[in-house]
Amino acid sequence: MRKLFGIVVIFLLALPMTACGQNRVGENGTVGGNETISATDTIESVHEMGTEPDHTDSEPVAEEENIARAEFDFESKTVMLNSGYEMPINGLGTYSLHGDECINSVKSALSNGIRLIDTASAYGNEEEIGQAIREAVSEGIIRREDVFVTTKIYPGNEMENPSQSIQACIDRLDIGYVDLMLLHHPDPNDVEAYKTMEQFVKEGKIRSIGLSNWYVEELTEFLPQVDTVPALVQNEIHPYYQENDVIPFIQDLGIVVQGWYPLGGRGHTGELLGDPVISEIAGAHGVSSAQVILRWNLQKGVVVIPGSGNPDHIKENAELYHFSLTEDEMAQINDLDRGEKHDWY
Ligand SMILES: NC(=O)c1ccc[n+]([C@@H]2O[C@H](COP(=O)([O-])OP(=O)(O)OC[C@H]3O[C@@H](n4cnc5c(N)ncnc54)[C@H](OP(=O)(O)O)[C@@H]3O)[C@@H](O)[C@H]2O)c1
């Protein structure tokens, strides 16, 4: 019975998508892939995961009319989140950046047109990110409203005291509002922490909220317990770990998908960037393997946040819009999936 209820909720959430016949454009335009994922497909993916969510006391998470698969605009290089805010579709990941290297990398990204910066409380660099943005504003490189900053609160102490930890992120960044705040991982206190983020949205301190490292089973259990549909889910996605079942499940809920470790993550980039299939496609377009992988993500409707402390790489990673992958090239990269996760979460 509980399982049936969960399935009905998912069906109601997914139904408007099939009715609207959402278009997913592959080669040149918006989101990649040609198939429309049906409510039945979504339900089946829940079946396959053997999910047994406890939804007995919960309401469906979203108003049906709010659900629409977000499409990427390759002209403006943005996507419209379900919160009503536009977000750039390529950015800079800052996981391993600290001190001057972090400040210089963020400023280099902003100078090269990158308008999306991903950080987290756990990275220990929010102060440097904030400093770099404030400096870029005062140097006339950007206005505050031109840049979109994501941060995250961590499980354990931070989610036990969400008001305090959310405010601490805002204070460390010191750039006024935060564009997007995520729960970094599932946690026993994640629902309460999420509700606290909802309160910060009401107060105008955060604009959009979302989740990180939530997959089909976790989302199926979590979503009916909260009022706000997450604007975005950030998960590990690269050619060797493609999440081809998870991505459409999330997108059909009107949630934008963002990939971490787009280049495989440190220690794995050599193999991925040297992959013969990717290298050959890169050669055919006169671009780098990194650009091919990032472009492949964009054409699948996945926002990319490659990490780099190298100004040449940062510039290269921003140049993703002067070429496009053919359906055959997309299929060749799709075939590289090994289900090979490069981190434990
Ligand atoms: N939510 C989560 O749980 C989670 C987990 C992990 C990461 N993340 C986020 O995702 C971001 C991306 O992950 P990541 O930085 O760990 O891994 P990544 O982006 O897959 O790979 C970064 C590595 O790729 C290299 N690289 C970048 N651009 C390159 C290029 N054009 N050519 C050759 N090498 C290049 C970088 O070296 P150089 O510095 O020399 O360029 C670095 O060693 C993180 O920074 C973080 O913001 C989130």
Substitution candidate for ligand 1 out of 92, 94, 95 with most atoms within 8 A of CB: 95
Residue carrying the six token digits 């991505």 = 247
Substitution candidate for ligand 1 out of 215, 269, 278, 296 with most atoms within 8 A of CB: 269
Compute the distance between CA of residue 224 and CA of residue 230 in angstroms, rounded to an integer. Answer: 12
- Reported confidence tier of residue 66, pLDDT bands at 50, 70, 90: low
Compute the distance between CA of residue 28 and CA of residue 42 in angstroms, rounded to an integer. Answer: 27
Closest atom of ligand 1 to 234 CA is 1
Closest atom of ligand 1 to 259 CA is 10
- Reported confidence tier of residue 205, pLDDT bands at 50, 70, 90: very high
pLDDT of residue 65: 55
**Which residue minimizes the CA distance to atom 25 of ligand 1?**
308
User: Cα(53) to centroid of ligand 1, in Å?
Assistant: 34
218-273 pLDDT per residue, tens? 999 999 999 999 999 999 999 999 999 999 999 999 999 999 999 999 999 999 99
70-334, CATH topology level: TIM Barrel (3.20.20)
Compute the distance between CA of residue 124 and CA of residue 250 in angstroms, rounded to an integer. Answer: 29
DSSP assignment of 214-236 equals: --HHHHHHHGGG-SSPPSEEEEE
Residues 276-281 have a mean pLDDT of 98
Q: Assess contact for 5 and 55: CB atoms under 8 A.
A: yes
User: Cα(301) to centroid of ligand 1, in Å?
Assistant: 19
Compute the distance between CA of residue 273 and CA of residue 266 in angstroms, rounded to an integer. Answer: 12
Among 34, 40, 46, residue whose Cα is nearest residue 14: 40
Is the pTM higher than 0.75? The answer reads yes
| 5 phi and psi angles, rounded to 5 deg | -60, -45
pLDDT of residue 67: 76
88-101 pLDDT per residue, tens? 999 999 999 999 99
Closest atom of ligand 1 to 119 CA is 47
Compute the distance between CA of residue 98 and CA of residue 112 in angstroms, rounded to an integer. Answer: 20
Kindly state the helix (H) or strand (E) to which residue 257 belongs, with its residue range: strand 256-260
Q: Is the pLDDT of residue 13 over 90?
A: no
* DSSP letter (8 states) at residue 344: -
30-59 pLDDT per residue, tens? 333 322 222 223 323 333 333 333 323 333
pLDDT of residue 44: 34
pLDDT of residue 79: 98
Report the catalytic residues: 123
CB count in 10 Å sphere of residue 179: 23
CB count in 10 Å sphere of residue 62: 22
Mean pLDDT of the chain, nearest integer = 85
**Which residue minimizes the CA distance to atom 41 of ligand 1?**
308
pLDDT of residue 7: 41
User: Cα(305) to centroid of ligand 1, in Å?
Assistant: 7
DSSP assignment of 71-112 equals: -EETTTTEEE-TTS-EEESB-EE-TT--HHHHHHHHHHHHHT
User: Cα(240) to centroid of ligand 1, in Å?
Assistant: 15
Show the ligand 1 pocket: residues with CB < 6 angstroms: 93-95, 118, 212-213, 234, 260-266, 269, 273, 288, 290, 305-310, 313, 316-317
User: Cα(94) to centroid of ligand 1, in Å?
Assistant: 8
Q: Which amino acid is at 48?
A: E
| Runs of H (alpha helix) within the chain | 2-20, 39-48, 99-111, 126-138, 157-160, 162-173, 190-202, 216-222, 246-251, 269-273, 276-285, 289-299, 311-318, 327-334
CB count in 10 Å sphere of residue 335: 10
pLDDT of residue 3: 37
Compute the distance between CA of residue 97 and CA of residue 123 in angstroms, rounded to an integer. Answer: 8
265 or 7, greater pLDDT: 265
Q: Is the pLDDT of residue 23 over 60?
A: no
Q: Which two tokens stand for residue 312?
A: 């040449």
27 or 90, greater pLDDT: 90
pLDDT of residue 318: 98
